[in-house]
Structure 1
Amino acid sequence: MAATQLLIHAPTEDALKRAQNNARNLLKLENDAQVEIIVNGPAAKIAVIITDSDIVSRLVLCGNSLKAQELAAQAEAKVVDAAVQYLAHKQSQGWAYIRA
């Protein structure tokens, strides 16, 4: 069976907290799972101060949200132009989507 590929969308601060827990829980069960936490909107201001390196390496931050809030991402985090476009492309490649 192929490894799980999961996008966890976190547009709010509370959703980002849930997304981190969701990612950790899945990875405990499936250590080969591919998990990305897609962050946009108000969650961006919390995402840029996360220090857990495993979580930071799974973050995909919306460039539009970062720009609008004048935020800078951690070097280890991925930044995309628009979260909506990234989510659409990854889903078309077969990745599962949940909103935290």
Structure 2
Amino acid sequence: MNPEHLDNLIRHCEEYTGRPWDGSVEHATAAADMAAEIVDILHAHVDWLSGCKERVERAGLPWNTRTCRDQSRRDGDLAAPPQWIGNYSENCTPAHLLNR
């Protein structure tokens, strides 16, 4: 590992766990696990958004922010947020970034 990789690891650990890297493999693994969960949630968001876009276009409407919101309301997504939003809020926001 060169100094640049080490600096990236240190920043990564602090960003995703909210505390400076303690030098342990477990801490680096926890940061990597958090980053992987965020990627999974973003993939779920892309899937959700793609499905919404398909339904809007199938209805013959243009794809834009308004039609996305309207379709989300018809799908019930704004009344009950998709699970990925809850996962992100509960599991992926480091404590030091909450309630800013």
Do they fold alike, i.e. is TM over 0.5?
A: no
Give 1 or 2 for the bigger CA radius of gyration: 2
Normalized per residue, which structure has more strand? 1
Q: Which fold has the larger relative contact order, with Cα–Cα distance below 8 Å and residues 6 or more apart in sequence?
A: 1
Normalized per residue, which structure has more helix? 2
TM-score, with structure 2 as normaliser: 0.30
